[in-house]
């Protein structure tokens, strides 16, 4: 049922022309990981490698994210579903603009309704602005829990920011420690992680 609906949505995004990003995409990238997860991660948009493979977070940022997730006891195979604010690659990896974000948001809202995550991690400023507050500052709001539509949401830095500025890693460690705690409180008290 969930898988069927995601496949249906995938067909829709592959044909989508709601914004100009379709002009330069190789393919749209709807999402990936386990759709039965309680933990959902939301990034910005596909990069070059994601556009080529049709899978989210498989490039350099994705590899770093996999390591962070593994240390927290999570993986895309087992207990994480991952997607992006926009499903098509912005040329040159620029930030998706407000019109592109708005055009794509209905897909994300349908994904959230289908997957019904208990916890959402917003990766970076674009995800924070698109979902929670267009004026939101990631530096101010990271690591702070927000209840949004009954879902526990925490913003943190995007892994690409960590690649540019490794000093931010300690903050993201802290934020994922907090995710592990919340996951134990809300989802699985026996969740195992290397953090705590
Ligand atoms: N960066 C993102 O925000 N999303 C991806 O899927 C890959 C890199």
Choose one of 65, 124, 158, 162 to mutate for the ligand 1 pocket test, by most ligand atoms within 8 angstroms of C-beta: 158
Above 80 in pLDDT, residue 182?
yes
Ligand 1 centroid to 62 CA: how many Å?
A: 7
Q: Is residue 86 part of a domain?
A: yes
Interior/surface letters 93-128, b for 16+ CB within 10 angstroms, e for the rest: eebbeeebbebbeebbeebbebbebbbbbbbbbbbb
Q: Token digits for 181?
A: 């705690």
**Mean pLDDT for all residues in the chain:** 97
Choose one of 160, 163, 164 to mutate for the ligand 1 pocket test, by most ligand atoms within 8 angstroms of C-beta: 160
State residue 51's pLDDT score: 98
Ligand 1 pocket, residues with Cβ under 6 angstroms: 43-47, 50, 56-57, 59, 61-62, 84
pTM of the complete model = 0.98
Q: Is residue 16 part of a domain?
A: no
Ligand 1 centroid to 84 CA: how many Å?
A: 7
Q: Is residue 195 part of a domain?
A: no
Q: Is residue 176 part of a domain?
A: yes
When divided into structural domains, the chain yields a total of 1
Give the C-alpha separation, 71 to 102, whole Å: 34
Pairing of strands 146-148, 119-123: unpaired
Ligand 1 centroid to 43 CA: how many Å?
A: 5
State residue 66's pLDDT score: 98
Q: Is residue 76 part of a domain?
A: yes
Q: Token digits for 40?
A: 């959902």
Sorted by sequence, the CB contacts under 8 Å of residue 129 that are 6+ apart come out as: 101, 135, 136
Choose one of 48, 51, 56, 128 to mutate for the ligand 1 pocket test, by most ligand atoms within 8 angstroms of C-beta: 56
- State the CATH number of the domain containing residue 120: 3.40.470.10
| Three-state secondary structure readout of the chain | CHHHHHHHHHHHHHHCCCCHHHHCCCCCCCCEECCCCCEEEEECCCCHHHHHHCCCCCCHHHHHHHHHHHHCCCCCCCCEEEEECCCCCCHHHCCCCHHHHHHHHHHHHHHHHHHCCCEEEEECHHHHHHHCCCCCCHHHHCCCCEEECCEEEEEECCHHHHHHCHHHHHHHHHHHHHHHHHHHHHCCCCCCCCCC
Q: What is the pLDDT of residues 122-179, one digit of tens each?
A: 999 999 999 999 999 999 999 999 999 999 999 999 999 999 999 999 999 999 999 9
Q: Is residue 25 part of a domain?
A: no
Q: Is residue 193 part of a domain?
A: no
Above 80 in pLDDT, residue 59?
yes
Q: Is residue 19 part of a domain?
A: no
Domain hosting residue 137, numbered range: 2-9+32-185
């Amino acid at each position: 049922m969930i898988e069927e609906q995601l496949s249906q949505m995938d067909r829709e995004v592959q044909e989508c022309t709601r914004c100009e990003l379709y002009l330069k995409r190789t393919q749209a990238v709807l999402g990936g990981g386990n759709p039965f997860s309680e933990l959902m991660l939301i990034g910005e948009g596909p990069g070059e490698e994601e556009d080529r493979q049709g899978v989210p977070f498989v490039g350099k940022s994705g590899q770093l994210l996999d390591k962070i997730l593994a240390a927290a006891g999570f993986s895309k195979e087992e207990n994480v579903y991952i997607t992006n604010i926009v499903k098509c690659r912005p040329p040159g990896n620029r930030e998706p603009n407000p019109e592109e974000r708005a055009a794509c948001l209905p897909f994300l809202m349908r994904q959230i309704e289908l997957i019904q995550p208990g916890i959402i991690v917003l990766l970076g400023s674009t995800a924070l602005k698109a979902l929670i507050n267009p004026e939101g500052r990631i530096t101010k709001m990271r690591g702070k829990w927000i209840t949004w539509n009954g879902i526990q949401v925490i913003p943190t830095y995007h892994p690409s920011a960590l690649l540019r500025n490794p000093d931010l890693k300690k903050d993201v460690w802290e934020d994922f420690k907090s995710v592990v705690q919340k996951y134990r409180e809300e989802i699985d008290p026996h969740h195992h992680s290397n953090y705590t």
